[in-house]
Chain A
Amino acid sequence: DTEVTQTPKHLVMGMTNKKSLKCEQHMGHRAMYWYKQKAKKPPELMFVYSYEKLSINESVPSRFSPECPNSSLLNLHLHALQPEDSALYLCASSPTQGLNVLTFGAGSRLTVL
């Protein structure tokens, strides 16, 4: 299995909702990443987990809460989002947090009303 699977593919939520994005990989990768991408912009790093521990938080607002329950799963919990948070959220993984190729999922398209 050489894929990163993200669910849901599309999510519409109100500003008072609580929702979660999920990411799964079975490649034995020990580093997992969340990126945010707006239209016609490059992916922006949000969080990095290395061996199930939060390694990097790029000063992301607390309304985004990451979780890594095990080495195969990565969640992004969403609460009280703003319309400007609407974007494509990409999950990626790599063998380790180092000089490695990132394998990206197809993304979750989030719309905040």
Chain B
Amino acid sequence: EDQVTQSPEALRLQEGESSSLNCSYTVSGLRGLFWYRQDPGKGPEFLFTLYSAGEEKEKERLKATLTKKESFLHITAPKPEDSATYLCAVQAEAGGSYIPTFGRGTSLIVHP
């Protein structure tokens, strides 16, 4: 059973059309939730870390929020250069280790 579920799997937007990506998780004892951006054939690039429900982080057109069961990545007025796969990863304590579990990602395409 997946511990981290991202939706939608794919999202196509027109430039300027705002939307949100979802990451829901079922781990207990969440220690941190991370958002990464991955361009094709490249490694994931860190965007945000959220640690507790109610926390919000912003960077340019992106805003990440966290509740006790899910996180949202809001994209305001996206541009074509925002096209990428957005990965969510959660870290929970498991026997003293904090290895992140990644979701399958949301593939975002922004059309000009």
Task: Show the binding face of A for B, using Cβ within 8 Å.
Answer: 4, 40-43, 45, 48, 55-56, 88, 90, 92, 97-107, 109
The 5 closest A-B pairs by CB, nearest first: A104-B43, A42-B102, A101-B46, A104-B44, A99-B32
Chain A proximity of B86: nearest CB distance (Å): 11
Interface residue count on the B side (C-beta < 8 Å): 22
Write the B59-92 contact mask toward A (1 if CB under 8 angstroms, else 0): 0000000000000000000000000000100010
Q: Which residues of B contact A90 (CB under 8 A)?
A: 43-44
Chain B stretch 15-35: residues in CB contact (< 8 A) with chain A? 31-32, 34
Interface SS, B side: strand
A109, B11: Cα distance in complex, Å: 26
A92, B104: Cα distance in complex, Å: 18
- Among A42, A56, A109, contact of B104 (Cβ-Cβ < 8 Å): A42
Do A99 and B31 touch (CB < 8 A)? yes
Task: Show the binding face of B for A, using Cβ within 8 Å.
Answer: 31-32, 34, 36, 41-46, 49, 87, 91, 97-100, 102-105, 107
CB within 8 Å for A92 and B43 given contacts A41-B104, A97-B97, A101-B34: yes
Do A103 and B46 touch (CB < 8 A)? yes
